[in-house]
Amino acid sequence: MKKIIIVLAILVAIAGITPSFIGSKVEDKMRELAEISSEHPMINLEITDYQKGWFRSTAKMSMKLDFSTMIPAGQASPMPMESFSIDFTQEMQHGPILTDVSGFGFGLVDSIAYIHAPEVVKKELPNIDADLKEKLEMMSRMAFDGSISSTYILHPFEFSKDGDNISVMGAEFGGDMTSKGDYLVNGTWGGMTVATAKGEHVEIGKLTLDADQQLVKGKLYSPYALYAGDLSMNLEQVVINKGLATLTDFDIYSDVKVNDDMLSFGVVFKLKQLDGMGMSFQDIVYDLAMEGLDVETMEELNKITMGMTDPNPEAQLQKLQAMLPQILANNPSLKINKLGMTTAQGDIDTNMVISIDGSLVDINNPMSIVAAIDATANGVAPEAFFTAMGLGASIEPIIQQGIVVRDADQLKFNFTMKDSQMLLNGNPVPLGALMQ
């Protein structure tokens, strides 16, 4: 009996001491994540206050977005404000026994976050912080191996100001991130309606998002990390001014693959139907793909284009030029597999392939890239479409110029470029035409 009591006493002691130990580890992790996120020159994530308790901790954080870092010296900012801050609070329950998020379980920490609106928003909406706390739930649980499961819930709400009315539907998104960088995200948002005092009206329908991606380069949570995998989004409908313009069933699908340290990606935009101003278009498609990209190079490009190596745009351009041989080393190619749509007069379809032979490019001679390009492009459209658009008078002149050819009731073009020679519909095109 005494042995059982001793064992129970030891277990109780461990259960009492462990939360404090875990709390210290959680604080270290929080500070590490803030430091990694702040690698982006436009973002500064700072822990302004951290109150660590035995079983619980509270962190106050501030994220400053500084747009001035992306503006060349001497140029005026196009933004209404050069920077603003978003503050939020995280209330954390230390493991190993957790109950705050997803019920009873085990792990390192349960976290519930609350956003505090920027001061400029509070001036217009004094109760916004209380509304956010009531309407927006952000919860996550971190397991012992560092993986995180998160849930974000937006409850429906409405507000009005100066005759403008906004009604926002509910949303729920979930995400799972492993310590190795594999993550799943999925969820839906019900959409929103905006009605202004001037009579303008916009309806945004249901949005669905799914992503399944894996970290392939860089640090987890780093702003310039590279991920492979797929992402899909669907927006059911957008209606502007009750039918003045209507977008129906808009899809975005992207897929990034990595094989032997070579990255390829594709992105497809699809719009089932677009109606407006008495016209209707169906099955609008833009299918883009790129291949021959080295993972190491793409990581460095991410750093340069995000201003992480130098926020000055002119310096970024110089660094991009210096990287040109590295970018072209694997003969990258760009493909527009399809750019087209269905109209009342028939289908419009175009495609293009451009590849660059990096061995022919001399960084000191920009014109050498012309000889390195191998390109083809094709397009076809019903002639009646241009007539219906009021462009009928322009058709004969562009046929006479050889820009398009007439084939029955269709207008077509074919363009090729190889070894610095360009052909448009089989006819040579002077290289200088590109410069005009």
Taking residues 5-12, report their average pLDDT. Answer: 48
Over 60: is that where the pLDDT of 16 sits? no
- Distance (Å, rounded) from C-alpha 275 to C-alpha 246? 5
Q: According to the model, what pLDDT value does residue 340 have?
A: 96
Phi-psi region of 425 (alpha: psi -120 to 50; beta: other; left: phi over 0): left
> Looking at residues 249-263, what average pLDDT do you find?
93
Question: With contact defined as beta carbons under 8 Å apart, do 282 and 273 qualify?
Answer: yes
> Per the structure block, which two tokens stand in for 41?
């020159």
8 Å CB contact between 333 and 326: no
Q: Which residue bears the tokens 């971190």?
A: 142
For the cut 80, the answer to whether the pLDDT of residue 431 exceeds it is no
Alpha carbon distance 371, 62 (integer Å): 51
For residue 171, give the DSSP letter. E
**Residues contacting residue 251 through CB under 8 Å, at least 6 positions apart:** 232, 233, 234, 235, 268, 269, 270, 271
Round the average pLDDT of the chain to a whole number and report it: 86
pLDDT band with cut points at 50, 70 and 90 for residue 133: confident
Going from the C-alpha of 333 to that of each of 18, 328, 329, 338, 373, the distances in angstroms are 55, 9, 12, 15, 10
Sorted by sequence, the CB contacts under 8 Å of residue 218 that are 6+ apart come out as: 224, 225, 226, 299, 302
- Average pLDDT of span 132-140: 90
Calculate helix-pair angle for 313-322, 295-305, nearest 10 degrees: 160
pLDDT digits (tens, 9 = 90+) for 184-225: 999 999 999 999 888 888 999 999 999 999 999 888 888 888
Residue count (the chain)? 436
What is the structure's pLDDT at 21? 79
d(CA 298, CA 224): 9
Q: Are 332 and 355 in contact (CB under 8 A)?
A: yes
Termini Cα distance of the chain: 96
Task: Tell me what pLDDT residue 14 has.
Answer: 47
Task: Give the model's pLDDT for residue 10.
Answer: 47
Identify the pLDDT of residue 435.
47
Residue 306, SS3?
coil
pLDDT of residue 313: 65
| Minimum mean pLDDT range among 87-91, 121-125, 352-356 | 121-125
For tokens 């003969």, what's the residue?
331
Does 128 score more than 90 pLDDT?
Answer: no
Q: What is the SS3 string spanning 241-255?
A: CCCCEEEEEEEEEEE
Going by pLDDT thresholds of 50, 70 and 90, the confidence category of residue 80 is low
Predicted confidence at residue 7, as pLDDT, reads 44
Q: Fill in the amino acid letter for 332.
A: P
DSSP lists the bridge partners of residue 308 as none
Q: Is the pLDDT confidence value at 339 over 80?
A: yes
DSSP 17-61: HHHHHHHHHHHHHHHHHHHHHTTSTTEEEEEEEEEE-SSEEEEEE
Averaged over 179-187, what is the pLDDT?
Answer: 93
Q: Which residue has the higher pLDDT, 117 or 210?
A: 210
Domain limits of the chain?
18-159, 349-436
Q: Of 208, 277, 207, whose CA–CA distance to 246 is shortest?
A: 277
Cα–Cα distance for residue pair 18/98, rounded to 1 Å: 12
Structure tokens at 232: 């899909």
The CA dihedral of 63, 66, 70, 75, to the nearest 10 degrees, is 170
Determine the average pLDDT of the residues in 172-185. 94
Question: For the residues 162-188, what does the mean pLDDT come to?
Answer: 93
Residue 11 clears pLDDT 50, i.e. is over it:
no
- pLDDT > 60? residue 8: no
- Lookup: tokens for 198: 């001037």
Sign, CA dihedral 304-309-315-318, equals negative
Is the pLDDT confidence value at 428 over 80? Answer: yes
Nearest CA among 417, 405, 429, 406 for reference residue 377: 417
- How confident is the model over 334-357, as a mean pLDDT? 95
Contacts of 302 (CB under 8 A, 6+ apart): 218, 224, 226, 308
Which helix or strand (DSSP H or E) is residue 411 part of? strand 410-418
Could you tell me the pTM of the whole model?
Answer: 0.85
The residue ranking higher by pLDDT, 431 or 232, is 232
Nearest-angstrom CA–CA distance, 397 and 391 = 11
Percent of the residues in the chain that have a pLDDT greater than 90, as a whole number: 49
Average pLDDT over residues 296-308: 76
* C-alpha to C-alpha distance for 192 and 73, rounded to whole angstroms: 39
- Looking at per-residue pLDDT, the higher value among 1 and 66 belongs to 66
pLDDT band at 154 (very low <50, low <70, confident <90, very high): very high
pLDDT at 409 exceeding the cut of 90: yes
pLDDT score of 358: 86
